[in-house]
Amino acid sequence: MGTSENTSDNGRPRRILAVVDWSVDAEAVAAALRAARDRSPAVFGVLVPSRLPGLDWIGDPHASRPCAELQLDEVTRLARSAGLEIERAIVGDPERVSAIGAFLEGWRADDVVLYDRDRIAANHPLSVRRRVARRTGRHVDRVVVSPVSSDGHWFQRAPHCAHANAG
């Protein structure tokens, strides 16, 4: 289950798995990670699922992997330059719940934090946050982060992976 606000049960820094959507602002994610570390000692694992937005999964299931890799590189670079300890950082499968489960098989986390775009059904009983909490037994938080190319509309369609579409 979850841990105390400041440290894990044995006094060591909390281990936080940051699950980052590839379409959100990497600087905002790094700032949120710094804020979490400033509230209490923490080390991080970073997972960027190669999620395919909308119906894009019908085409190439690996089309978003290049964008997930770029996001992972940028978030870890920004976090490490801010002095954060990143113990493990990987690109995961497109399905976020299974990607999180696979990550946690190789890296124990006290808490999971989803850094995600705003979604209408985020508090639905079948939301990713609730499914991850049920599957892992860990405390799961969700932090809404603006998309990289947002026009400010809540109904904005998920951005396509420009890197994958180029060339």
Mean pLDDT of the chain: 83
Question: Rounded distance, CA 147 to CA 129, Å?
Answer: 19
pTM for this predicted structure: 0.83
| DSSP string covering 123-153 | TSTTSHHHHHHHHH-SEEEEEE--BTT--S-
Task: Kindly tell me if the per-residue pLDDT of 10 is higher than 90.
Answer: no
Give how far Cα 88 sits from Cα of 61, 121, 122, 127, 150, Å: 24, 30, 27, 25, 29
pLDDT in tens, 123-158: 677 788 889 999 999 999 999 998 876 444 434 444
> Per-residue confidence at 40, pLDDT binned at 50, 70, 90?
very high
Question: Rounded distance, CA 79 to CA 93, Å?
Answer: 22
> Per-residue confidence at 3, pLDDT binned at 50, 70, 90?
very low
DSSP 57: G
pLDDT in tens, 63-90: 789 999 999 999 999 999 999 999 999 9
pLDDT of residue 154: 39
Question: Rounded distance, CA 119 to CA 122, Å?
Answer: 5
Give percent of the chain with pLDDT exceeding 70. Answer: 74
Question: Rounded distance, CA 109 to CA 119, Å?
Answer: 25
pLDDT in tens, 101-127: 999 999 999 999 999 987 656 567 778
Please provide the CATH number assigned to the domain covering 14-165. 3.40.50.620
Q: Kindly list the domain boundaries of the chain, sorted by start residue.
A: 14-165
DSSP 53: P
